[in-house]
Amino acid sequence: MTLPSLPSTVVPLRNRPAWAALTDHFTKIRTIHLRQLFADDSERSKRFTTETLGLYFDYSKNRITAETISLLIELAEQSGLRHHIDAMFAGEKINITEQRAVLHVALRAPKSEQISVDGTDVVPEVHAVLDKMAQFAEQVRSGAWKGHTGKRIRNVINIGIGGSDLGPVMAYEALKYYSQRDLTFRFISNVDGTDFVEATRDLDAEETLFVVCSKTFTTLETMTNAHTARDWMLKAVSDEKAVARHFVAVSTNRVKVEEFGIDSANMFGFWDWVGGRYSMDSAIGLSTMISIGPEQFSRMLSGFHAMDEHFRTAPFERNLPVLMGLLVVWYNGFFDAQTVAVLPYEQYLKRFPAYLQQLTMESNGKHVTLDGNQVDYQTGPIYWGEPGTNGQHSFYQLIHQGTKLIPCDFIAFGQALNSLGNHHDLLLANVFAQAEALAFGRTAEEVRAAGTPEWLVPHRTFEGNRPSTTILAERLTPETLGKLIALYEHSVFTQGTVWQIDSFDQWGVELGKVLAEKIVPELEKADEPSLKHDSSTNALIRQYRQLRRAKD
């Protein structure tokens, strides 16, 4: 089969001339300290800072020189990145293992644009769904949408998992400042019954609306929770007709939605060219739109779109997602860095690292190339993080003085949404101090000069040379959030293109699902089942059956 997305000239990563040149370059640069790089070049901060779309992107505290960047850009070019970007925007089926187009960029395209999949312009369909969402959101927000017994809806519960949950939760938290405060939002994802019970225990069913989000409408966790929700609702309002007023669905599967009993008039659609982890700005964002309103939602989409256009058109040396993605390739491929820490100094972004974990790791956690060959290099790093300053009092110790190299992304804002005394100055002083300490450390001489006894000097020395990038924006707004998410989406795309993997499939999620389906009847069976797993799994199943009996 021919690969639709890559030019035939793309050769395996290690055979690309730029990779060989980078390997050479790395041996020269690997021991150079950031202290020296800054001392040698008074213009360094300016040289390695790009300001675009209101984002000040300072990557000067990375272990790079101008040569590193130009070699990485050559690598991107030799990897077919330009062609691959164009292929995505043109609706080509670049998700080759699922034979699907990858068009989350169409979700935020303005009405005036045309983006075609198989000859059909999808932009009008996108806007038709956005309009329908807006109408519904306004009805809920204004109180015009009533529950079955005539009470106003006060609680909105999103039921979904993975891509149908993480985006909505993150966006709700991130944009809470802009939310309608007389509505309560909850999110149920886990099949662990506790998630459902705790989310609903203090709510009045008559005032509750469930938004069931599932692209396939077959996902075990979501369907189980949705059925439990229906039972919970019908226990309070014993009339099947209540389902129509208290349940709406977001899905691509009309048949299954109707089978569940949700009126397809209350279904908001999306398309198979939207991957779950890229879907928070599709109808999957319905709860977000109810929370912040259609106008702010559309500002968020403008932010996404601005970054899409920047990614599509800016030269690589000034292209934020390209630079960000190439830095990951650099540390991952040459410094053996296994992780990237994302550290937002903004409490509202507390779920942003968790959201990015799925976006990055489900996308680039792959071990074969597009043509099915085992990679002989590292692919997707582990993303993780917590908001600052909390992390400073927890895991930052390891980043400062541990044995692992952990590139960090610091994210901060010039203006606080909740201005309170000098809190914001203190917050920002901390983010700047952390990046400074990581880069420059504290030498043994400096520690000695501060009067530290000799035996304590090694413990108090910070070797520094720990890389970080700082992203500074004016204020966390829906638009800025859109830009930040698209920045990471396209950084993931850049990485995946260099590694020549399919960043848009997720076969790794499948096996566990299939095996779980096989185990369910073995747990539920009244008589002792005959088990044919390995000895460990067999024993665990038996042990569970026994423990469960002990409770009965």
| Interface contacts to ligand G6Q, rule CB under 6 A | 161-164, 214-216, 219, 222, 275-277, 362, 506
Angle among Cα 344, 487, 354 to the nearest 5 degrees reads: 45
Give the nearer residue to ligand G6Q in terms of CB position, either 10 or 212. Answer: 212
Burial of 403 (0-12, 13-18, 19+ CB in 10 A): exposed
Is there a contact between 470 and 61 (Cβ–Cβ < 8 Å)? Answer: yes
Buried b (16+ CB within 10 A) or exposed e, 293-324: bbebbbbbbbbbbbbbbbbeebebeebbbbbb
Give the nearer residue to ligand G6Q in terms of CB position, either 277 or 424. Answer: 277
- Shortest gap between Cβ of 184 and ligand G6Q (angstroms)? 23
**Token pair of 246 as six digits:** 């208290």
Is residue 305 flagged as an active site residue?
A: no
Give the nearer residue to ligand G6Q in terms of CB position, either 60 or 506. Answer: 506
Angle among Cα 439, 441, 443 to the nearest 5 degrees reads: 140
Residue appearing with tokens 């050559």: 74
- Shortest gap between Cβ of 163 and ligand G6Q (angstroms)? 3
Is there a contact between 301 and 66 (Cβ–Cβ < 8 Å)? Answer: no
User: What is the 3-state composition of the chain as percent helix, strand, coil, each rounded to the nearest 5?
Assistant: 55, 10, 35
CB atoms within 10 A of CB 67: 13
Is there a contact between 204 and 175 (Cβ–Cβ < 8 Å)? Answer: no
Give the nearer residue to ligand G6Q in terms of CB position, either 168 or 388. Answer: 168
Sign of CA dihedral 249, 254, 260, 262: positive
Give the nearer residue to ligand G6Q in terms of CB position, either 249 or 328. Answer: 249
Is residue 132 flagged as an active site residue?
A: no
- Shortest gap between Cβ of 366 and ligand G6Q (angstroms)? 13
Instruction: Kindly state the DSSP code that residue 380 receives in the 8-state scheme.
Output: -
Question: Which among 374, 287, 306, 378 is positioned nearest to 337, based on CA atoms?
Answer: 378
Those residues whose C-beta lies under 8 Å from the C-beta of residue 29, and which sit 6 or more positions away, are: 63, 64, 65, 68
Residue appearing with tokens 């389906």: 517
Single-letter amino acid, residue 481: L
| Helix (H/G/I), strand (E/B), else coil: 212 | strand
- Shortest gap between Cβ of 286 and ligand G6Q (angstroms)? 13
Give the nearer residue to ligand G6Q in terms of CB position, either 163 or 325. Answer: 163
- Shortest gap between Cβ of 360 and ligand G6Q (angstroms)? 12
From 227, 423, 513, 518, the catalytic residue: 513
Give the nearer residue to ligand G6Q in terms of CB position, either 275 or 467. Answer: 275
Sheet-wide strand order for 382-384: 49-52, 55-58, 468-473, 408-413, 339-344, 382-384
Give the nearer residue to ligand G6Q in terms of CB position, either 79 or 214. Answer: 214
Sheet-wide strand order for 247-251: 184-188, 155-159, 208-213, 247-251, 267-269
CA atoms within 13 A on the CB side of 400: 20
DSSP per residue, 347-384: GGGTTHHHHHHHHHHHHH---B-TTSPBPSS---PEEE
From 92, 362, 479, 489, the catalytic residue: 362
- Shortest gap between Cβ of 226 and ligand G6Q (angstroms)? 10
Give the nearer residue to ligand G6Q in terms of CB position, either 361 or 408. Answer: 361
Separation CA 232–CA 200 (nearest Å): 9
Give the nearer residue to ligand G6Q in terms of CB position, either 167 or 293. Answer: 167
Is there a contact between 433 and 459 (Cβ–Cβ < 8 Å)? Answer: no
- Shortest gap between Cβ of 316 and ligand G6Q (angstroms)? 27
CB atoms within 10 A of CB 407: 24
CA atoms within 13 A on the CB side of 482: 28
Is residue 510 flagged as an active site residue?
A: no
Largest Cα span, the chain? 78
- Shortest gap between Cβ of 487 and ligand G6Q (angstroms)? 18
- Shortest gap between Cβ of 278 and ligand G6Q (angstroms)? 7
- Shortest gap between Cβ of 301 and ligand G6Q (angstroms)? 20
Omega prior to 68 cis, within 30 of 0: no
Separation CA 436–CA 38 (nearest Å): 12
From 393, 459, 532, 551, the catalytic residue: 393
Give the residue numbers marked as catalytic: 362, 393, 513
